Chain A
Amino acid sequence: MPILTSEDVVRVRQKVRSWAIEMGFNLIDQTKLVTAASELARNTINYGGGGEFRLEALNEGNRSGLRLTFEDHGPGIEDVELALKDGYTTAGGLGLGLGGSKRLVNEFDIFSRPGEGTRITVTRWRP
């Protein structure tokens, strides 16, 4: 689904919530996952100029999880390590979006090329 407006961010939150409930995540894990999704969806708009969101249910042997992918074709991130640091921001926010959402999930992958865009994939496994 596309992420272009702040209403889309709300839709992303609702979608992630309903899938997380369906997969049997407990309330705290649902909240963490939805919050991470909200941060990353907003980043897609604010930094990437909008993009795409994908949601996958994972079943691997005896574990299951949810994987969220956010992709944009914006300016990309020059220094990923710096962008992940708490308090670093180029848009006047708190600078907690990337680093904070990383703490709310189990796996966090970021792929970015300056001038081409950014793809962030996060996964949370059901305990």
Chain B
Amino acid sequence: MERIPILKMGHFLLVTIQVDMHDRLALTLQDDLTNQILKTGAHGVLIDISSLEVVDSFIGRMLGNMANMSRLLDAETVVVGMKPAVAITLVELGVSLKGVRTALNVEKGMELLQEPLRSKAGARGDEQQEG
């Protein structure tokens, strides 16, 4: 069966959507992601949609669902790489993706995910110098 790969990178899971997803594929991804969060104990999920030329209300809802489900499983989600034309269209469509954190690219998204981990480490008194 066709699947979108979920990669583990340290404390995080990385999902890069590179195909024009049909609805069943999106639902499979939703299931796979929650399973992987449980299996790996990941603290964050980064979803890269920079290859997506279209995000309609269904895919938008699915991104929101994944963010909410992850949060309930103690993992933050950041959606990165949305194309400007997609953002313009989503707003006109009426999909606001409330509750979904976004960042411009993978690098900035990773920074967002690492922040809470760093402050947790700081609270425990770990010495971590940032360059």
A→B interface (CB under 8 Å): 5-7, 9-10, 13-14, 17, 27-28, 30-32, 34-35, 38-39, 42, 86, 93-94, 96-97, 99-101, 103-104
Contact = CB atoms under 8 A, between A and B. Distances in A.
Contact of A9 (B23, B85, B86, B95): B23
Given A35-B56, A42-B23, A94-B57, 16 more contacts: A5-B22, A6-B23, A13-B20, A14-B20, A32-B89, A35-B54, A35-B55, A38-B56, A39-B93, A42-B56, A94-B94, A94-B95, A97-B57, A99-B94, A100-B57, A100-B92
Contact of A96 (B23, B25, B85, B95): B95
Contacts, number: 74
A93 B61 contact: yes
Contacts of A31: 53-54, 83, 85-86, 88-89
17 contacts: A6-B23, A10-B20, A31-B83, A32-B92, A34-B54, A35-B89, A35-B93, A38-B58, A39-B57, A42-B58, A86-B94, A94-B60, A94-B61, A94-B94, A97-B57, A104-B92, A104-B93
B39 interface: no
Dominant SS among interface residues on chain B: helix
B120 interface: no
A86 B83 CA distance: 24
A28 to B, nearest CB: 5
Interface of B: 20-25, 53-58, 60-61, 83-86, 88-89, 92-95
Q: Which 8 A-B pairs have the closest CB atoms?
A: A100-B93, A6-B22, A31-B85, A6-B23, A38-B56, A96-B57, A96-B94, A28-B85
A87 B83 CA distance: 25
Given A9-B23, A31-B54, A93-B58, A103 B85 contact: no
A105 to B, nearest CB: 10
Nearest to A87: B94
